[in-house]
Amino acid sequence: MIDPVQPPRRKNPLLRTRLPASPPRPRSRTSHGFTRAAAEGRFVLQRCEACGAFAYPAREACPACLSAGLSFVDAPRRGVLLAETTARVPSDVYFRERAPWRIGLVKMDCGPTMVAHLHADCVEGAPVVMSFQLDKSGQAVAFARPEGETPNMADDRQWREMTADPKFRRVLVTNGRSVIGQEAVAALKAAGAKTVFVGVAEPWRPFAGEQLLRGQQGVEVVTLDASDEKSAADLAADIGGKVDILVNTTEYVRPGGLLDRRGTSIARDEIDQAYLGFVNLAQAFGPAMRMRGADGVSSSAAWVNILSVHALANWPAFGAYSASQAACLSLSHCLRAELRPGGVKVMNLFTGPVDTEWFQTVPPPKVAPRAVAQAIVSALRGGLEEIYVGDVAEEIRQRLAANPKALERELDK
Amino acid sequence: MQSKNLLELAGAISSGAVRVVDLTFTLSPDFPVIVLPPEFGQAAPVRIQEISRYDGRGPAWYWNNVMFGEHTGTHFDAPIHWFTGKDLPNNSVDSMPAKDMIAPACVIDCSAGAAQDPDFLLTVPLVEAWEAKHGRIPERNWVLLRTDWSKKGWRDYSNLRDDGAHTPGPNPAVMKWLVEERGIIGFGTETIGTDAGQAGHFEPPYPAHHFLHGAGRYGLQCLCNLDQLPATGAVIVASPLKIQNGSGSPLRVIALVSAN
């Protein structure tokens, strides 16, 4: 039984803010099979193509039959906790600061025995559910939770190290003019965020949903034009040290590619809004977030981007927009590396066309803005890195993995 | 004119006998720009990006890169801005005569009317009433419409509603009349455009742009401090940036006003 996590008190200004430490980082290349799965919230193990045995940890040959044909496949998550131990004075700085820390041995129903971090409600001899989580180093670790819900389950101290739960955290939603932004504000408030700052560019321009946004408890409307370097810097000067989660809801969708557009002004707007907006936000808010990665219950935890799935494969009907999204995707990998020392996760949500004004003539299926907002919250709660929202995004991902050239031809219609 | 008169003017400016009134808003990213339906091309907002500020990027100097549309902030409209002026000679900011950049102004105070009605329109009878008091508007004068609109917060300043902007301006008849009957050099306002917020619904649409630029005249907008100008006698200095084939430009507009 876990005590519910308490809202953090105001900080004692006499105390130094602890700098983030990182858990051990080295992994074998093969082990990143787990990283890949953890990023998406999948549970995989290696399975021998010859004898069918599951193996763990990552191996180059099957421990049962020595076949080299091991592949990562989705595996059953259930197991039984064989034994547990508590590390009280670990030698590693990260774990020493967080001691006591519980780990255990889990006998998986599918065969292997795994060393795993333990949820506090796991008891010896009882069934557990295993997942791979990304730790503060961004590496996959095995994590065992009790089967079924327990009270305040998400408040477990060790679990919160693996996730970016918005509960009691302060969130900046960068663009509150968009439907997605407004839905994100509502979803994050409902998920227990202490404060949601919501950016509004050009506040002299009225917009739909404005009254509702301004009237909400715990929602602070702030002036932010992410595409303006000074605007981002000015806001960060005010609230940069209070942003635990940043949700980049920049949205600038325009149809068209290259040849049927005249001039570069729309392309420049696309770059200004999406790419340079990202750069400005990162330079303004990134350094404080990286520094505050171990700042108590409301430590900085995550940066969320909402990207078009066509960042992965250009959709010529929205070709220049796709390219701006690809630029943001590339930049997100840079940001992930730069925020990693702070233990701050960078999450990318990939969506197909969203049911908003600029995709008006695109036939369904389209993603509901509310579904994007809910995906943001579940990604934060699960500590994920790559999230595909909706059928189109999932399908593009699969088709890209199967045959990128085929997908390129298919998107050209 | 003898050069000693010019030197006298310089001396009067320096002594304060001639006041210099700045009619310009600071060019900044948060100043409202004209709003067009999103499917049209948009004026780029003002952007100021630091190159260096006595730091590693340039230890002894501070400077910025700036970017803006031709029609942002306090700005000048040249005849080439509108289709009616597209075929005129010397119709762009780089080719217009330099002497047109200095001219006297008649200031028509409509602040009371604009305070009552955001859709307030300047009409011929109103100008005639002004002339009855201050005399006929001379040729090649600016006519500046004072509404005190520049004193509003940005939201009220742009005053956008779901049926468009509601800001004061001239009606079609007065624009035609000022251009054809009074031969003005240009028309200036405190609002985002020389035209009223609802002028797209006028006949012709955007009459200030239509008539001014069709006759090779100029526009000034987003002016401030018009309340510091006399009804007549101020001299306006408005020299736009010399942008190649430019349709307008942000600029510093100053007025010379006799102190007594």
Count: domains in chain B: 1
For residue range A260-269, list pLDDT tens digits in order.
Answer: 999 899 999 9
For residue range A172-204, list pLDDT tens digits in order.
Answer: 999 999 999 999 999 999 999 999 999 999 999
**Residue B92 pLDDT greater than 80, yes or no:** yes
Question: What does the alpha-carbon distance between residue B126 and residue B132 come to, in Å, rounded to a whole number?
Answer: 10
Helices within A340-368 (DSSP H only): none
- Please, which pLDDT band fits residue B2 given cuts at 50, 70 and 90? confident
Asked if A265 and B45 come within 8 Å (Cβ–Cβ), the reply is no
pTM confidence score = 0.94
pLDDT at A1 (0 to 100):
74
Asked if B42 and A265 come within 8 Å (Cβ–Cβ), the reply is yes
Q: What is the DSSP letter of A317?
A: G
**Residue A362 pLDDT greater than 90, yes or no:** yes
Question: What does the alpha-carbon distance between residue B255 and residue B146 come to, in Å, rounded to a whole number?
Answer: 14
Q: Which domain holds residue B215?
A: 3-30+70-258
Asked if B155 and A230 come within 8 Å (Cβ–Cβ), the reply is no
pLDDT at A337 (0 to 100):
98
**Three-point CA angle A28, A32, A37, nearest 5°:** 155
Helices within A24-134 (DSSP H only): 32-40, 93-98
Q: Which residues of B touch A261 (CB under 8 A)?
A: none
Q: Which residues of A touch B44 (CB under 8 A)?
A: 265, 268-269
Question: What does the alpha-carbon distance between residue A130 and residue A114 come to, in Å, rounded to a whole number?
Answer: 9
Does B56 fall in a domain? no
Beta bridge partners of A80: A107, A127
* Catalytic option among B81, B209, B210, B213: B81
Question: What does the alpha-carbon distance between residue A295 and residue A5 come to, in Å, rounded to a whole number?
Answer: 15
Mean per-residue pLDDT, A164-172: 97
CB A323 within 8 A of CB A252: no
Nearest CA in chain A to B38: A254
Question: What does the alpha-carbon distance between residue A92 and residue A23 come to, in Å, rounded to a whole number?
Answer: 7
* High-pLDDT (> 90) share of chain B, %: 93
User: What residues 146-175 of chain B have any CB closer than 8 A to a CB of chain A?
Assistant: 153-155, 157-158, 160-161
Length of chain A: 413
CATH number at residue B81: 3.50.30.50
Does B39 fall in a domain? no
Does B146 fall in a domain? yes
- Please, which pLDDT band fits residue B57 given cuts at 50, 70 and 90? very high
Does B57 fall in a domain? no
Q: Is B134 a catalytic residue?
A: no
Nearest CA in chain A to B45: A228
CB A27 within 8 A of CB A146: no
Question: What does the alpha-carbon distance between residue A349 and residue A298 come to, in Å, rounded to a whole number?
Answer: 23
Query: What's chain A's average pLDDT?
Result: 96
In this structure, what token pair is assigned to residue B162? 């779901």
| A268 shares contact with chain B (CB less than 8 Å) | yes
pLDDT at A215 (0 to 100):
86
Does B227 fall in a domain? yes
For residue range B101-152, list pLDDT tens digits in order.
Answer: 999 999 999 999 999 999 999 999 999 999 999 999 999 999 999 999 999 9
In this structure, what token pair is assigned to residue A60? 């180059």
**Residue A280 pLDDT greater than 90, yes or no:** yes
Domain architecture of chain A: domains with CATH? 32-162 (no CATH), 170-411 (3.40.50.720)
Does B84 fall in a domain? yes
Does B36 fall in a domain? no
Nearest CA in chain B to A206: B160
Has the ipTM of the complex gone over 0.85?
yes
Q: How many other CB atoms are there within 10 angstroms of residue A116's CB atom?
A: 26
* Residue A384 DSSP SS3: coil
**Residue B259 pLDDT greater than 90, yes or no:** no
Mean per-residue pLDDT, A122-144: 98
Does B230 fall in a domain? yes
